[in-house]
Amino acid sequence: MSLFISSLNSGSNGNCYYIGNAQEAVLVDAGISCLETEKRMKRLGLGFDKVKAIFISHEHADHIRGVEVLSRKYSLPVYITPKTKLNSRLALEKHLTKPFCATRPVQIGGLEILAFPKLHDAIEPHSFVIGCNHIKVGIFTDIGFACKQLIHHFKQCHAAFLEANYDDEMLVNGRYPYHLKHRIRGGKGHLSNAQALQVFKEHKPDFMGHLLLSHLSKDNNCPKLVQQLFECCANGTEIIVASRDAETAVYLIDGSFVKKQTSNKPTAKEQSKMQLSLF
C-alpha cells in the first residue's frame, strides 16, 4: 500500500507534516494554526476526515501551536509523552490525550507509527518513522546530532523529512548572538547542511525516492544552496526543499523508485563488444 506525504509547513515559525494512506492519515506536529492547517490541506485536496491522530515530537511552540484547537475541533487524539505534555502546558482533553513510548509502535488503521529518542534541547524529544506494509517514511527534524538510531532508521526509509537547518559559514558570520549560535550547533540543537548531507551520502538506501529537506533557518540558510548541494549527489532521488511559508505538493511513496545506474564500469555486453573489437 502506498503512502502520501506533504510538508504543510517547516521552519522555526511552525512545523506540520502529513503522512497517510488511502484510508487514514496522521499529522506529525501541529505548529501552525488550525485555520492555516485547514487552508493548506484543502489546497492539496487532503480531507480532515482521514486524519486520525496527531503525534507530537517535543514541546517547543513551533511544533504545538495549533494542537489544542485541531484536537478539539476534530476530536483528534494527541499522542504525546507525559513529560512533553507537562512541559508544553497544553490544555488537551483528557480522553484525547494518548501517551506513547519509544520503540513501541502505535497502530492507527493501516499505519504503524514508531517513535525513537533524538538529541534536542527539549525534555523528551522523539523522531518518528511511519510505515504502511513495507513502505516507510521518516520525520527527522530538530536534531543536534545524527545518532546511531537516526542512521539505523534512515537506512530503511523510502522517503524522509530530514533537517538541513543551517549553513556553517552563514551561521558563524550571521547576526545571532554567540549563545544562540552555540545552542544551534552544540549537539542538541539543529542539524547543519553538511551534517545532513553526510547522512544522505553515506546512509541513503538505494530505494529512497524522495528527500524533503526540512526546518531550514530563515537567517542562516538558503533554499537554492541546499537544493544544489543535495542534487549533486541525489542519484535519482527527488530533492524537495520544504518551505517555511507554504505547503509542498503531495508526494506518492510506493516503493517503485529504482536507483539510477551511475557506475562507469561497462556492462557485460559492452565488455564483449570491446573484446571483439580487438581482433
> What is the DSSP annotation of 92-133?
--GGGEE---TT--EEETTEEEEEEE--SSSSS-EEEEEEET
Q: How much is the average pLDDT of 50-57?
A: 98
Residue 29 phi/psi, 5-degree rounding, is: 70, 155
Beta strands 210-214 and 159-163 are parallel
Q: Could you tell me how many helices (H) and strands (E) the chain has, helices first?
A: 10, 14
The per-residue pLDDT for 257 is 82
The per-residue pLDDT for 103 is 84
Residue 61, pLDDT above cutoff 80? yes
Burial 86-106 (b: 16+ CB within 10 A, else e): eebebebeeebeeebeeeeeb
Question: Where are the chain's structural domains?
Answer: 3-276
The per-residue pLDDT for 160 is 98
Enumerate the H helices of the chain as residue ranges: 34-44, 61-64, 67-74, 82-88, 148-154, 168-172, 178-185, 193-203, 223-231, 268-276
* 214, 164 contact by CB (below 8 A): yes
Model confidence pLDDT, tens digit, residues 6-33: 999 999 999 999 999 999 999 999 999 9
What does the longest C-alpha to C-alpha distance in the chain come to? 82
Rounded distance between C-alpha atoms, residue 191 and residue 165, angstroms: 6
Task: Give percent of the chain above pLDDT 70.
Answer: 92
Rounded distance between C-alpha atoms, residue 8 and residue 15, angstroms: 7
**Annotation: CATH topology of 3-276:** Metallo-beta-lactamase; Chain A (3.60.15)
Model confidence pLDDT, tens digit, residues 220-249: 999 999 999 999 999 999 999 999 999 999
* 15, 29 contact by CB (below 8 A): yes
**Beta strands across the sheet bearing 238-241:** 106-108, 111-117, 126-132, 135-140, 159-163, 210-214, 238-241
Model confidence pLDDT, tens digit, residues 95-132: 999 999 998 999 999 999 999 999 999 999 999 999 99
* pLDDT band of 258, cuts 50, 70, 90: low
Give me the chain's average pLDDT, please: 93
* 191, 164 contact by CB (below 8 A): yes
Model confidence pLDDT, tens digit, residues 125-174: 999 999 999 999 999 999 999 999 999 999 999 999 999 999 999 999 99
For residue 210 the three cell numbers come to 524522495
Model confidence pLDDT, tens digit, residues 170-190: 999 999 999 999 999 999 999
Q: What is the dihedral of CA 116, 9, 24, 69, to 10 degrees?
A: 100
The per-residue pLDDT for 277 is 34
The per-residue pLDDT for 224 is 97
- Cα–Cα nearest to 49, from 40, 38, 36, 34: 38
* pLDDT band of 268, cuts 50, 70, 90: very low
Residue 79, pLDDT above cutoff 60? yes
The per-residue pLDDT for 260 is 53
Residue 279, pLDDT above cutoff 50? no
* pLDDT band of 1, cuts 50, 70, 90: confident
* 170, 192 contact by CB (below 8 A): no
* 6, 250 contact by CB (below 8 A): yes
* 3, 31 contact by CB (below 8 A): no
- Cα–Cα nearest to 60, from 138, 125, 114: 125
- Is 274 strand, coil or helix? helix
